[in-house]
Amino acid sequence: MSIVLLEHPRPRTPDRYESVVNTPLSSCLMTGYVASTLKSNDYDVDIVDANLHGWSFNETIQELKKRSFKLLGVHLVYLWENTEDVFEMLLDLRKSIPDVHINLYGHFPTFASRELLANYPFVDSVTIGEPETTFLELSGEVANNKETSTLNTINGLAFNSINSKSEEGVLKPDVILNNPRKPVSNLDNLPFPYRNDFELTKKKGISTFILASRGCYGKCTFCYLDNFYGEESSWRGRSPENVFSEICDIYEELEERYFYFADANFIGPGKKGKERACELANLIMDKGLNIKFGIECRANDIEDKTIGILVRAGLKDVFLGVESGSQRSLNKFRKFTTVEDNKEAINILRQYGIEPNYGFIMFEPDSTLADIRENYEFLKEMKMLNSPSITAHLLHHKQTVFKGTRDYEKNNGDICPDSIGMYERPCEFKDKAVEALSEEVNLFCLQVLKEISQNRDDENGQFDSCVYDEGDAFSKLKNEQLIEHFEQALSFLE
User: Can you give the chain as a three-state secondary structure string?
Assistant: CEEEEEECCCCCCHHHCCCCCCHHHHHCCHHHHHHHHHHCCCCEEEEEEHHHHCCCHHHHHHHHHCCCCCEEEEECCCCHHHHHHHHHHHHHHHHHCCCCEEEEECHHHHHCHHHHHHHCCCCCEEECCCCHHHHHHHHHHHHCCCCHHHHHHCCCEEEECCCEECCCCCEECCEEECCCCCCCCCHHHCCCCCCCCHHHHHHCCCCEEECCEECCCCCCCCCCHHHHCCCCCCCEECCHHHHHHHHHHHHHHCCCCEEEECCCCCCCCHHHHHHHHHHHHHHHHHHCCCCEEEEEEEHHHCCHHHHHHHHHHCEEEEEEEEECCCHHHHHHCCCCCCHHHHHHHHHHHHHCCCCCEEEECCECCCCCHHHHHHHHHHHHHCCCCCCHHHHHHHHHCECCEECCCHHHHHCHHHCCCCCHHHCEECCCCCCHHHHHHHHHHHHHHHHHHHHHHHHHHHCCCCCCCCCCCCCCHHHHHHHHHHHHHHHHHHHHHC
Average pLDDT over residues 96-120: 94
Please tell me the predicted confidence (pLDDT) of residue 453: 79
Q: Is residue 326 predicted with pLDDT exceeding 50?
A: yes
Please tell me the predicted confidence (pLDDT) of residue 17: 53
Q: Is residue 225 predicted with pLDDT exceeding 90?
A: no
Q: Is residue 106 predicted with pLDDT exceeding 70?
A: yes
The answer to whether 244 touches 284, Cβ cutoff 8 Å, is yes
Closest CA to 38 of 104, 125, 133: 133
The answer to whether 91 touches 57, Cβ cutoff 8 Å, is no
Please tell me the predicted confidence (pLDDT) of residue 50: 96
pLDDT band at 348 (very low <50, low <70, confident <90, very high): very high
pLDDT band at 126 (very low <50, low <70, confident <90, very high): very high
Structural domains of the chain, with CATH: 2-177 (3.40.50.2300), 207-355 (3.20.20.70), 361-494 (no CATH)
Q: Is residue 25 predicted with pLDDT exceeding 90?
A: no
Please tell me the predicted confidence (pLDDT) of residue 466: 41
Please tell me the predicted confidence (pLDDT) of residue 28: 77
Please tell me the predicted confidence (pLDDT) of residue 61: 96
Q: Is residue 16 predicted with pLDDT exceeding 90?
A: no
Q: What is the pLDDT of residues 266-311, one digit of tens each?
A: 999 999 999 999 999 999 999 999 999 999 999 999 999 999 999 9
Average pLDDT over residues 378-384: 98
Please tell me the predicted confidence (pLDDT) of residue 464: 39
Please tell me the predicted confidence (pLDDT) of residue 310: 98
Average pLDDT over residues 238-250: 98
Q: What is the pLDDT of residues 152-184, one digit of tens each?
A: 999 999 998 865 444 454 556 689 999 999 999
Please tell me the predicted confidence (pLDDT) of residue 278: 98
Average pLDDT over residues 180-198: 95
Give percent of the chain with pLDDT exceeding 70: 88
Please tell me the predicted confidence (pLDDT) of residue 472: 80
Q: Is residue 73 predicted with pLDDT exceeding 60?
A: yes
Please tell me the predicted confidence (pLDDT) of residue 129: 94
Q: Is residue 323 predicted with pLDDT exceeding 90?
A: yes
Distance of CA 149 to the CA centre of its chain: 33
Residue 118 to residue 482: CA distance in whole angstroms: 45
The answer to whether 165 touches 188, Cβ cutoff 8 Å, is no
Please tell me the predicted confidence (pLDDT) of residue 418: 46
Please tell me the predicted confidence (pLDDT) of residue 24: 52
Average pLDDT over residues 248-264: 95
Average pLDDT over residues 327-332: 97
Average pLDDT over residues 310-321: 97
Average pLDDT over residues 72-80: 93
Q: Is residue 33 predicted with pLDDT exceeding 50?
A: yes
Please tell me the predicted confidence (pLDDT) of residue 172: 65
More confident call, 414 vs 306: 306
pLDDT band at 12 (very low <50, low <70, confident <90, very high): confident
Q: Is residue 434 predicted with pLDDT exceeding 50?
A: yes
Residue 76 to residue 475: CA distance in whole angstroms: 36
Q: Is residue 443 predicted with pLDDT exceeding 70?
A: yes
Average pLDDT over residues 84-106: 95
Which residues on adjacent β-strands are paired with residue 49? 7
